[in-house]
Amino acid sequence: MSENMIDVKNLNTYFNSTQILKNININIKPNTVTALIGPSGCGKSTFLRTLNKMNNLTHTFKMTGEITIDNEPFENIDDVALRKKVGMVFQKANPFPKSIYENIAYGLRIHGMKDEDKINDIVIKTLKDVALYDEIKDDIHRSAYKLSGGQQQRLCIARSIAVSPKIILMDEPCSALDPISTLKIEDLIYELKKDYTIIIVTHNMQQATRVSDNTAFFLNGEIIEIGDTNEIFLHPKKQETENYITGKFG
Ligand SMILES: Nc1ncnc2c1ncn2[C@@H]1O[C@H](COP(=O)(O)OP(=O)(O)OP(=O)(O)O)[C@@H](O)[C@H]1O
């Protein structure tokens, strides 16, 4: 048994014959936040999308290597079980065209929950967990589209945690948000790591230092350096890492 939530060994990924990720090795402990940084196009999103098998929806995608999630080999986990275990939050909030309430209840019903009282309890609890409840409690049945961008993003996080995942993947979750909404999401990430393991892609170096325990620096599909976030930012071992975090490229 590994103590890690995620173990990735010798991962290579391809779209057609173009190799995107090259020999990725990473181990992620439970209840930690890992930031993925690196210039545009270096493979950060591809890595996230490999972990929840979203890339498998692209028929040209191929991978080699081993991934273990919560001690289960990747190939043994079917897509439905995996998506329940591994939630994802995208760059642009993408609520369903439904009410705030239904945005969360819907996923629970899809995963087979029928008891409406229980569904109600989880909807309220997750809205509280993402600190949205007090802002919307008087009108929980209004359209999710009426929420601000920051509120929509918190709703999407609530939707992903409602089905009790182990892991939450966040692909630049604050890039479309103002600084105040961004800080709210960052505070939330800090709270969420008590219960979940989080991987966040960010182009914002301050954000990586604020929210993450560990950081992986990607360049051209490889992990150039990985380790404790403070170490990576204060004492990078590789010249490329230093160049990137000091803004010399990317
Ligand atoms: N479905 C796809 N089919 C073919 N190539 C793809 C596909 N998705 C991504 N790629 C390619 O994979 C490479 C890595 O892209 P990826 O989106 O993972 O980078 P990224 O580091 O997340 O970039 P950004 O920071 O701009 O989001 C790019 O060259 C991209 O064009």
pLDDT digit of tens for each residue in the chain (250 aa)?
789 999 999 999 999 999 999 999 999 999 999 999 999 999 999 999 999 999 999 999 999 999 999 999 999 999 888 988 999 999 999 999 999 999 999 999 988 999 999 999 999 999 999 989 999 999 999 999 999 999 999 999 999 999 999 999 999 999 988 899 899 999 999 999 999 999 999 999 999 999 999 999 999 999 999 999 999 999 999 999 999 999 887 6
Among the listed residues 65, 53, 77, 54, the one whose alpha carbon sits nearest the alpha carbon of residue 19: 65
Query: How far apart are the CA of 20 and the centre of ligand 1, in A?
Result: 8
As a whole number of angstroms, the distance between CA 97 and CA 99 comes to 7
* Residue 248: how many other CB atoms lie within 10 Å: 10
- Domain at 6-246: CATH code: 3.40.50.300
Atom 6 in ligand 1: residue holding the nearest Cα: 15
Distance of CA 115 from the midpoint of ligand 1 (Å): 41
Distance 221 CA to ligand 1 centre (A): 10
Spans of all domains in the chain: 6-246
Q: Which residues line ligand 1 (CB under 6 A)?
A: 15, 20, 38, 40-46, 58
What is the 46 CA–ligand 1 centroid distance (Å)? 6
For residue 48, which atom of ligand 1 is closest to its CA?
18
Atom of ligand 1 nearest to the CA of 60: 3
- Per DSSP bridges, beta strands 86-89 and 6-15 are unpaired
From the list 163, 168, 137, 165, the residue with the least C-alpha distance to 151 is 137
Whole-number Å distance, alpha carbon 102 to ligand 1 midpoint, is 32
Q: Which of 11, 13, 15, 170 to mutate to test the pocket of ligand 1 (most atoms within 8 A of CB)?
A: 15
